[in-house]
Amino acid sequence: MSENQESFHSRVIERRAGLMAVLTTICILIGGIVEIIPMYTVGAAHIVETPPYTPLQVAGRDIYVREGCYNCHSQMVRPMRSDVLRYGGQWSRAAEYQHDRPFQLGSRRLGPDLARVGGRWSNSWHYRHMEDPRAMTPDSIMPAYAWLLRRKIRPNAVKASLRALRTAGEPYDDGTINNSAMLLEAEGQMIVDDLAGSGITTTWDTEVVALIAYLQRLGTDIGAITAAEEREAANE
Ligand code: HEC
């Protein structure tokens, strides 16, 4: 095309800023509608209510964020065959993120996706893996997080997190928040007792115990969510 042979697009549209702005706006609106309408029409499955994180899981989640685990781990099984096959047969659903404030989707995968890691390994595996990843996976490039075995969670900080989450809309009642120290201990003790069975001695308030509680929760809501989807499909 020579210089004075302008295309229709540049002659009629690009030269008129007003028209260009109107048409651009229309294009953006179409894009927005295409994204928004499915949110309201995919049915009830995406609002299946799952329990919020327990106090100990909240503590573990705060550690996950603090340590930047999301720099190497995503939490989203993409709806592609390879991903779905690798991570247990179900891609991630919107309902799985309802308690994530903020979500931990991540964008880099130097390590495997963790969206469904709950129940995949024993508590003692996680404990030893955090202490020294090479002890469990010989060629691992994951750094060791041995200090998590020594550092303690602070129940007051967890209580503050719970309060903040409630302000953001999480359904914690007064009882949960006021008794959070007790709840932390009860939940942590279950993991401690389980670890003792593998010859590991620790206490309920170590950071690694909270992190294990969080990791073991990840992905455990998918059963309830797919069951609701099936019920909905049967009713259609
Ligand atoms: C430098 C990148 C990197 C960082 C940071 C990192 N990881 Fe990893 N992680 C890996 C790699 C690589 C693997 C796979 C090898 C292995 O099992 O160690 C892995 C494996 C794992 C696994 C086992 C997953 C599975 O499905 O087998 C868990 C759980 C895990 N990491 C948790 C964490 C947590 C929690 C943190 C933050 C405290 C963290 N990782 C930080 C790279 C990383």
Q: Which two tokens stand for residue 198?
A: 């593998």
Q: How far apart are CA 230 and CA 228, in angstroms?
A: 5
Q: How far apart are CA 112 and CA 137, in angstroms?
A: 12
Indicate the top mutation candidate among 62, 75, 107, 142 to test ligand 1's pocket, ranked by most ligand atoms within 8 A of CB.
Answer: 142
| Ligand 1 shell residues, CB under 6 Å | 64, 67, 69, 71-73, 110-112, 114, 117, 120, 133, 137, 140-143, 145, 211, 215
Q: How far apart are CA 51 and CA 62, in angstroms?
A: 18
Q: How far is the CA of 36 from the centre of ligand 1 (A)?
A: 34
Q: Which tens digits make up the pLDDT trace of 85-110?
A: 999 899 999 889 999 999 999 989 99
Task: Check whether 39 has a pLDDT greater than 80.
Answer: no
Please answer whether residues 230 and 149 qualify as being in contact, where contact means their C-beta atoms are separated by less than 8 angstroms: no
Please answer whether residues 83 and 44 qualify as being in contact, where contact means their C-beta atoms are separated by less than 8 angstroms: no
Nearest CA to ligand 1 atom 20: 111
- Length of the chain in terms of residues written: 236
Residue 42 — very low, low, confident or very high, per pLDDT cuts 50/70/90? low
Task: Check whether 18 has a pLDDT greater than 80.
Answer: yes
Q: What is the pLDDT of residue 43?
A: 59
Q: What is the pLDDT of residue 48?
A: 84
Selection from 109, 124, 150 nearest residue 212 by Cα: 124
Nearest CA to ligand 1 atom 34: 69
Q: What is the pLDDT of residue 234?
A: 87
Cα separations (Å) of 143 from 37, 39, 206? 43, 39, 19
Q: Which tens digits make up the pLDDT trace of 46-90?
A: 578 899 999 999 999 999 999 999 999 999 999 999 999 999 899
Q: What is the pLDDT of residue 6?
A: 82
Please answer whether residues 113 and 76 qualify as being in contact, where contact means their C-beta atoms are separated by less than 8 angstroms: yes
Q: What is the mean pLDDT of residues 20-42?
A: 91
Task: Check whether 26 has a pLDDT greater than 80.
Answer: yes
Nearest CA to ligand 1 atom 12: 111
Q: What is the pLDDT of residue 46?
A: 54
Q: What is the mean pLDDT of residues 151-157?
A: 97
% pLDDT > 90, the chain: 83
Q: Which two tokens stand for residue 236?
A: 């259609």
Please answer whether residues 225 and 45 qualify as being in contact, where contact means their C-beta atoms are separated by less than 8 angstroms: yes
Task: Check whether 2 has a pLDDT greater than 70.
Answer: no
Task: Check whether 45 has a pLDDT greater than 50.
Answer: no
Residue 71 Cα: closest atom of ligand 1:
5
Cα separations (Å) of 163 from 58, 83, 144, 154, 219? 11, 36, 31, 15, 24
Residue 38 — very low, low, confident or very high, per pLDDT cuts 50/70/90? confident
